[in-house]
Amino acid sequence: MALKYLHTMVRVKDLEKSMAFYELLGLRETSRKESEGGRFTLVFMAPPGQEECPVELTWNWDGDEGLPSDSRHFGHLAYRVDDIYETCRHLQENGVTINRPPRDGHMAFVRSPDNVSIELLQEGDALPAQEPWASMENSGHW
């Protein structure tokens, strides 16, 4: 049986705000579909050079009152990064809460504006412990 990964879909409440968050992570819009009949927009975003692994942002034009919720039924999205400390610093400077700081130099968690849990993993070996991350407490859920 042949199987091919297509994408991960997440519902979003504010398309522009959500796109801005994923752009902070380094993803770029690869395609978009507007459905007047279904009253929704699909935006596919992926890291440059990895267009085969997109996240699909689904925005319902008439709203989605269930968002954001704390539902984690699908788990999380995960991305490998070149420098976890620099990535977290960049996100934090742009208003993103680091829910699980990279105290170990290897793993961190943040959440999107729609409460989607995002895991960030250091490429290769863990980086040496570094402040302020080493002594930073968790914030909220991740």
- Give pLDDT tens digits along the chain (142 positions): 665 777 888 889 899 999 999 999 999 999 999 999 999 999 999 999 999 999 999 899 998 877 766 654 566 888 999 999 999 999 999 999 999 999 999 999 999 998 888 999 999 999 999 999 999 999 988 7
Q: Is 13 left (phi over 0), alpha (psi -120 to 50) or beta?
A: alpha
Q: State how far Cα 10 lies from the chain centre.
A: 10
What are the counts of helices (DSSP H) followed by strands (DSSP E) for the chain?
A: 2, 8
All domains in the chain, ordered by first residue = 8-60 (3.10.180.10), 77-122 (3.30.720.110)
Catalytic residues: 119
User: What's the rounded Cα separation, in Å, for the pair 33 and 99?
Assistant: 32
Residue 59 contacts residue 43 (beta carbons within 8 Å): yes
pTM of the model: 0.81
Task: Extract the tokens encoding 68.
Answer: 């954001």
Q: Look up residue 137 and give its two tokens.
A: 């407490």
